[in-house]
Amino acid sequence: MYVKCGSLATALQVFDFMPEREILTSDVALWNSIIDGYFKNDFFDQGIAQIRRMLAMNVKPDGYTLCILLGKSNACLGVSFGREIYAIRNMFLHDTFVVTAMIDFY
pLDDT digits (tens, 9 = 90+) for 55-84: 888 888 888 888 887 776 555 555 556 555
* Number of residues assigned to the chain: 106
Q: How many Å separate Cα 2 from the centre of its chain?
A: 16
For residue 3, the model assigns a pLDDT of 82
| 34 and 49 inside one domain | yes
**Contact assessment for residue 56 and residue 48, using Cβ atoms and an 8 Å cutoff:** no
| 8 and 37 inside one domain | yes
Domain residues for 67? 63-106
Domain count, the chain: 2
| 70 and 43 inside one domain | no
In this prediction the pTM is 0.69
> Which stretches of the chain score pLDDT less than 50?
none
| 44 and 87 inside one domain | no
Residues 6+ apart with CB under 8 A from 68: 32, 35, 36, 39
| 23 and 73 inside one domain | no
For residue 56, the model assigns a pLDDT of 83
